Amino acid sequence: MPELASVNGKITPIDQACVSIHDRGLVLGDGVYEVIVSYHDKLFLFDEHIARLRRSLAYVRMSYVDVDEVVRLIRQVFQAAAMPRAKVYLQITRGEAPRNHAFPVPQIKPNLIITVRAFPEMDPALFDAGIVCLTQPDLRWGRVDIKTINLLPNCLAKQAALDAGCHDAIFIAADGLVREATAANVFVIRHGVFLTHPANEHILSGVTRNCLIDLIRGAGWTVEERAATEQEMMTADEVFLSGTTAEVLPVIRINGRPIADGQPGPISRKLLGIFRAWIRQNGY
């Protein structure tokens, strides 16, 4: 099936879609986004993504966007693409106007951009063997809980990881606390207890993260929503990343040092099985 785009409701092949050079998302990063995947023709935790979108829009003072219409357009292009396993990218910018930091007056029409691409399964070897990461100082802005399109620090950290032969980077705050990876949340397991950063302004609280917390507690484990220290992470029994595409992805080495025995741990493996079973049981 074709990869498609929708720009303000106009559906085209993805390589024919375009926006104005005056788009404020392009010239100022003035916009928000969401990434939603589908399993077996069903958008995963769609309502939760839309709830987060509403929160992002409110913070950037774009509550006037008709989210019900956004939902309709997402479903329209998703159905047109007819991809059972798809990645839907949604971006809403403040619209098109000559470059100026101030919001345009009068209010302009926002630009709504949606793309639907194939969502290939992650290489099973990554789950079986685990990944390696490095740490990076967290130099991002102070409200990363808002899903804005300003991702340059994440791009730089990700590239630093790739240049070092690693899969991803984990942000460490100035006070030594573990925050998150470049596009995933971080869980640290110590003595059977899961630690993950609380959902505040210092991380983007992932939809998958929240789902996993419920599944972890339902399985009888303990979760503490508190930030682990870097030392706690480096001496953990297990570490894994969670996210829309990462699911439950074991981290076996950080900064060249193995986590425990340097192999994916049994708890992470079991949780991945629980998560995938939950996906199937809920019709995804």
Q: Where are the domains of the chain?
A: 4-118, 124-281
What gap in Å lies between CA 253 and CA 238, rounded to an integer?
10
- Mean pLDDT of the region 195-203: 98
Tell me which fold the domain 124-281 belongs to: D-amino Acid Aminotransferase; Chain A, domain 2 (3.20.10)
Q: Please write the tens of the pLDDT for every residue from 90-132.
A: 999 999 999 999 999 999 999 999 999 999 888 999 999 999 9
At residue 277 the predicted structure's pLDDT band, cuts being 50, 70 and 90, is: very high
- The reported pLDDT for the residue numbered 100 is 97
Say what the pLDDT of residue 283 is.
83
The pLDDT value recorded for residue 103 is: 98
Q: What is the pLDDT of residues 207-236, one digit of tens each?
A: 999 999 999 999 999 999 999 999 999 999
CA distances (Å), origin 62, targets 50, 66, 108, 141, 148:
14, 10, 11, 20, 12
Residue range 4-118 in CATH 3.30.470.10: yes
pLDDT tens digits, residue range 6-15?
999 999 999 9
10 is catalytic: no
The three-state (H, E, C) secondary structure of 137-171, written as one string: ECCCCCCCCCCECCCHHHHHHHHHHHHCCCCEEEE
Name the pTM for this structure: 0.95
- Average predicted confidence (pLDDT) for the chain: 97
Percent of the chain with pLDDT over 90: 96
Q: Do the first three CATH levels of 4-118 and 124-281 match, i.e. the same topology?
A: no
- pLDDT tens readout for residues 241-271: 999 889 999 999 999 999 999 999 999 999 9
Say if residue 4's pLDDT is above 80.
Answer: yes
Tell me what pLDDT residue 133 has.
98
**What pLDDT score does 265 carry?**
97
Catalytic residue (one of 10, 42, 109, 147):
147
1 has a pLDDT exceeding 80: no
* Nearest C-alpha neighbor of 20 from the set 103, 100, 114, 99: 99
**Strand pairing report for 4-7 and 10-13:** antiparallel
Interatomic CA distance for residues 215 and 144, integer angstroms: 25
pLDDT tens digits, residue range 186-197? Answer: 999 999 999 999
